Structure 1
Amino acid sequence: PLERAAEAWQAALRSCQQCRERRGEAAQAHTAALRRLALAEADSGRQAQTLAALQAEWEAWLAGQCLPPKLTAAAALDLFPLIEQAQQQLERKRKAVRRCETLAAERDAFERGVFAKLGETEDGDAVIALKDWKEASDHAAEREHARKRMEEERDRLTEELSLISPGIGRAKARIEQLLQDAGASDEEQFRHRVRIQEERLRLEADKRQAEALLDAAIGPGRLERLGAELEGRSRDERLADMQTLRGKLEETKREADERRERRGRLHAELEQLEGNGGQGDAVQRLAEQTARFAEQANRWSTLAVCASLFKKARDVYERERQPGVLQRASEHFAQMTGGRYSRIIAPLGEKRLAAVTPTGDHLDSSLLSRGTAEQLYLSMRLALAEEYASKAPLPLIMDDILVNFDRERLIRACTVLGQVATQHQIVLFTCHPHIVEAIGQTVPGCGSVRLEETNV
């Protein structure tokens, strides 16, 4: 127990010592706090003096700025942006006023310049004077532009006139030649003769159509025989023949009347026979067959006439209306073939060529021999070149196109080439000496150039 008491006393002694240490520390802290308080009070006094000085300075500044003396700093901060905006508005106003003054001065100077150049108007408005001047200037510019355009048109027409003057001269010469050929003294008489010629052509067409109808009606070939018989007889004999024919016509009419009467009687007898039995059905079938045969006969005659007319019209078209290319090609082809074929045609509505013999027979190009077919195609080529020469004559270049011709065909083809060579330059390449010899014989004056192998 004594040890516990000693330990408790030691603990209490240590606790007392600690309390004394804490009290000393608290006293030191109190002393330091008093010192800081004194310093703070002294600093607060200085701050109050400074605040009073600043307040006085603030109030003096507000008075200098003509602001309310009770205005706070916070309110001043809100007021400053408005003041800056007002100052900016005032500055813009001053600039606008200065700009207006400048523009007014420029306007006055402009009006003085306008009046000095254009003269003053009655109302003294420079804008009206300027508008009047602008309209007058625009009118003057339009007139100048129109003048230049007319001058350009005059120059163009002058140039066109200079270009077409030779053509006009040739046209006038051609007109004079046509008038002379037609035996007309002026254009009116020429047109009158043209109308007569057109009427003649129309009558000839009507004549050909009538002849076709007569051929279809009386048979082919009989019309020529009748025409030959009539040409060999005099007018009196023709009148006598006409009277005879009229008599025969009257007799034929009487016979027709008699036959109609006989037909009526037969028809009556037939009706009587029909009442006797089954013969009526056979008679009915015979009548139907007869009517059908008559209808078919009428249709055949119509189709025969139409076919004959179509054939004649097609032959006339293929003979007289073929293009210039085919006409030239026909001349060359007839000369190359020695007259075995008279012309080349392109059948109406078909894309092929055919050779026509002097007797009128047509032979398709696919059925010709190789030599004759090449003669046909060479004739077409030469005709096309001659047709195009009216626009721009060009040389013809050929490469061994005569190699498949025999001696007779070769000579005729070279003769045609010589004729074409008078209007076109022809360059013919060949490696066959007999072709060179044939051309030299048939085309006098032709040039020959031998190409060596080293030059090729």
Structure 2
Amino acid sequence: SLRARKAAAAAALQAAERLLAQEHASGAADFAGLAARSPRELVQLWDELQQAAERWREAQLGPEGGASATRRSDAAGGSRPGANGRRAARYRRFLQAGAALTLLLPPALWLTGAPPVSVWSALGLLAAADLWLWAALRAAGAAVAPPEPGGGEAGKAAAEMLRLRGQLLSGAARESGKASSPDAGGLEAGMRELRRLMEAWGTWRQRVDRQAAEAEACRTEFEQLSGQEQVLTGELEEAEARFTELAARYEDWLRQRRLPEGLSPDGLPDIFALAEQGHELLRQEAKWSARLSGLAAECALYEQEGLKLLAAAETGRVNSISFVAEQQSLPAAPLTDQHRLPATNPTAQHSPATPAAPRHPTPAALLTWLELRKREWDQLKAELLRRESVEARLAEVREELAANHREQAELNLRCSKLLEEGGAEDGEQFLRRSSAWLRRIEVTRSVRQAELAMFSGWDDEGRAELLSLLEHLDAGRLAQERQAAEEAAAELEEERSALLEQRGKLLQEREALTKRGKEDTALQQLEEQRAALRNLAGQYAVTALAAELMGRTRRIYEQEKQPQVLQLASVYFSKLTHGEYRRIVMTLGHKELKAEHKDAGLLDSGLLSRGTAEQLYLAIRLALAETMSSKVNLPLFFDDLFVNFDEYRLHAALALLGELSSSRQIVMMTCHRHVAEAVAGSIPAAAVISV
């Protein structure tokens, strides 16, 4: 959530500020000897101090220093004259090569992806080699007298070093620096101590800058989260206000509808559903109650009709019984239809075919009689429905007939109006007059089209003139006028053709003159281009000759004037790669290391593979160790040097180390079993020690 992120950001900010404060406190305690200046001023003073130290060293190694050293060595009964100078010059060249490698090799290892441990190890070894060369250079030269103020270039450089050192250090450190020895050894010791201090200060400044950047990033994140929290808080307050207003309106709505006050909005749909169900049940109840009432009324009516029928049937039965009793009391006589009394049936008067009620009504006979009556009633209802439909259809037909009569009257009225407007007495005369009117319209349209075709594009004056000619001249005169106009038009056409021919000739002459002028201009431009080309050819010859001479000079320098370290490294590199690469070259001007392939030529060290690049750096390292061993063969220490070597490169490197082990001690440390086994197999004299 946002609060958790804000709390985490606040905790991270506090931790970063606490670490930054600790770094500042530790730096203030550890680097109290430095002057209270800005980091940029301290770096600038340190750079100026290093430049002054370089000038002082160069002055120490200059002709005056060499001469004084020679005089002191001659006075002490040293070696032959000039030997120390040549040795110093050789050490100076080695020191320059070592300084170049110190500057180039660690960045190259870093760019090739080497582990940081390897980079720092290489930097430390190269720095140690540079210090050893510097010590050897000092040993080869004469001891330098303590610098005196104003005593030559060395004295000026020493005074500048002391001044810059005083500006770089604080008061207590400056007093201790003044108390130290001002001779060459004291200056070198002070520079070494100051270099260690400045390196530690640079590392501390990097940590401080990193912690400050982290603290700033945490602060920025905390401010962003705080801003988001404020925005969300405002939105939440607005939402709460809207919710409060809606809650009040909801409470009013509940009170108006007499609903429970604690009813939640989520329960309203259920309440509405129950209300709808209740209304539906009430509607169904009313519907079924009405239907039940109708059915009860029908049952009561049915019972009344049944009782009436039963009463009628009972009356007929009584009549028949009395009639039989009377007949039994009279003498016997044939019973005819005239003596029978009809049954008293109210419906018999309306329907002659209606069967009489049974004399002795049994339930089955009564039901049969009721079914017959019901069938007759159904037939009567069907007849009534058919009669109603026929009457409805008859009403529709009557309405349609009335509408047709009205339409006929309207048509008769319109026909009378048309005849009156057309001035005709009957329909036939109206048709003839309409045909004549249509013909007139067509003729009028034709006349208009002819006028448009004749006078299209004519103005009013020309149109009037043409009409005047047509009115005053006959056909013959018009033919003569037309012939004269055609002859004049033919003459004008001939004149136009002659003018067009003359125009074409003039255009041809103009094109010929233009072409001739363009040829002269093109010839002039061609001569100018040729002159410019001759100038460029001369410049190209000079430039090409200069480039060839510079290339030859460069090749001579790269082939013959390379330092001894690179020459020896080229031999080792060729052995390590089995002749795949011939030599290592440092290009003139750019100070870049390149490897010469037997087929591809010079390749930049950054383009080499990881294993080949490490072979190159191993060859340079072995060459540096060999060139520094003019007096004492120092041992070589290697820690997991062959991590990125395949079997082919491993055996080549072990073969070269086996050759070098005859003149110096080589100690290799590894945690890989196959490397130890390869060393034991390639170098029989090697002693394998397992820890």
Q: Could you say which TM-score interval applies, normalised by the shorter chain?
A: 0.3 to 0.5
TM-score, scaled to structure 1 = 0.39
Higher relative contact order (CA 8 A, sep 6+): 2
TM-score, scaled to structure 2 = 0.26
